[in-house]
A and B are shown apart, each in its own frame.
Chain A
Amino acid sequence: GAGVSQSPSNKVTEKGKDVELRCDPISGHTALYWYRQRLGQGLEFLIYFQGNSAPDKSGLPSDRFSAERTGESVSTLTIQRTQQEDSAVYLCASSPSGASYNEQFFGPGTRLTVL
């Protein structure tokens, strides 16, 4: 079956503009995670969804970042008033449940460049 998909694959924007990143998880996966990977660094957690609710949003770096998930499927990550330090690869992952031992299945990522 289809894996996790993300769109767009690349996004170039100007500083101060808003961007919206999309994630389509594997069908039936209730847990969904967003991570960010800056150049040369490891992945950093942003937010976790269980179903449509977000019990852990502690990784969002500022109030310019928000995310939502609808219908236990698609999730969107919105960054308002983008800054150059927001440039990174944004990765989405889904998992059958929120259990800690579950494998997380990753999407290909969205490469965001803020000029």
Chain B
Amino acid sequence: AQRVTQPEKLLSVFKGAPVELKCNYSYSGSPELFWYVQYSRQRLQLLLRHISRESIKGFTADLNKGETSFHLKKPFAQEEDSAMYYCALSKGRETSGSRLTFGEGTQLTVNP
């Protein structure tokens, strides 16, 4: 069975500092990996997915199949980045109707 681990429940950094939110996964196939974000009093929304290889709001994430990781990074954190971040996995293109398996989330606080 697939599993997603986010080792840090809480992460606090200062504005302008680099930030890295860790995500490790276990799955025997070729997964699709996502980062979802939930800002205060807002609904859960997609931040980025590995298949798009894009940078959103300055965040990037690289899928490392050797280390089974999909860490989220931003070189200079901003106060508006404070939110709950969830790493999620779906089983990839060999299946359809792919439910997401979520990590427990990391609450990021960016201090002024």
User: Which A residues have a C-beta under 8 Å from some C-beta of B?
Assistant: 3-4, 31, 33, 35, 40-45, 48, 50, 55-56, 59, 91, 98-101, 103-109
Q: Chain A's nearest CB lies how many Å from the CB of B49?
A: 7
Q: Chain A's nearest CB lies how many Å from the CB of B53?
A: 12
A-B contact pairs, 8 of them (CB 8 A): A31-B97, A33-B99, A40-B104, A41-B104, A42-B102, A43-B102, A101-B49, A106-B36
Q: Give the distance in Å from the alpha carbon of A103 to the alpha carbon of B86 in the complex.
A: 14
B99 in complex: contacting residue of A40, A48, A109, CB < 8 Å: A48
- Count of chain B residues with Cβ under 8 Å from any Cβ of A? 26
Residues in A neighbouring B36, C-beta threshold 8 A: 106
Q: Chain B's nearest CB lies how many Å from the CB of A59?
A: 7
Do B97 and A45 have beta carbons less than 8 Å apart?
Answer: no
